[in-house]
Structure 1
């Protein structure tokens, strides 16, 4: 055997696995995309659950309104307040006593010519009813509409007595106050009972007329005067003063004649 032969191994070399040295590092776990996605999903769910539990507040209890106090229902209907002009006059006791006047009275002679000229300017007298006399502007004179006047006097003696005269006094007063819806007692009072009313008729011409009415009862005689002018109002009270002047003069004449 030569030297070359001594260096050749007689047996084949065995392939052996490398020896693991104790105390060395452990190779890391293999993380796949599916595993990573599942883990992230779990984390997100946990975060939402925690946030929901932390931020959730108990809903406040709704306040229950206290029961409304019951209001008693009135069975009677309240009446609406009336204006002074719409109030019903208080019941007036029926007067008593003997009748003072026994004869009928002619109304036209009871008003003097001077007074009719003062109030009507150019009066023309007419009488349609026995108890009534009228003075209006004569047709011979042309005056503006606002200077047109009319005066009417009613006088009646009630032979039935004071009670009948008082009844008719109330009826005529009610009729005179229908449109103005009010009346005013005369101050100072005249006779046993007295009143005045004033009413202006409205219209497109703005010329009224405006009418003042004055009524007086003295014993069993009834006197009523209407004084009218074609104007939309009577701010100075001229018509009421004129009607009152005539009514007072007539009442004095009736008392003197009786």
Structure 2
């Protein structure tokens, strides 16, 4: 599910990258919760994580007003209890820094600058962005302002399994082309066109559309690349 952006000034750093694990992990709010909702993190199945990794969470009602909520850390991560009636959760999740040297079999959850000089390590900083929709509203067909996000095309009526569903993938407000969009971590799916648009086929129950994007960088001494994930989560009948 990975695709990557490479700027000319970053090509030298790109050639030095070691193979970091391409785990398509997402972070999202369970759309089947309520009145307490669980924040999930994982690939095909949820995994435990520190609640502090949920860095930003916005809960909105049908009028696009922000709702207050309480956070409750759990053994598996974080649960939240909103006031009022939520229709959308907007989530940012910071998975920290991961480093791998030629001597490592797996990446380690440490910053690249903790390695000895000349160790030849590479680092990744995974950031997850997701939107979970409980009840569709017209204003959801526009960007909410996340750095990396799916924006659905307007539709009417209830979503049904087998239905075609069009979304646009944006990075910093600009379309992302040739990005594979998977559903529920199935590791396959159609690719976006030059305008960032793609049409997917919905499944019954939870649909979790996602894409991973790697951006090679020089600005952060602790990571040779940013690993961004966008997800859009909702239910089809």
- For normalisation by structure 1, the TM-score amounts to 0.26
Q: Which has the higher relative contact order, 1 or 2, with Cα contacts under 8 A spaced 6 or more apart?
A: 2
- For normalisation by structure 2, the TM-score amounts to 0.28
Q: Which has the larger radius of gyration?
A: 1
Higher strand proportion: 2
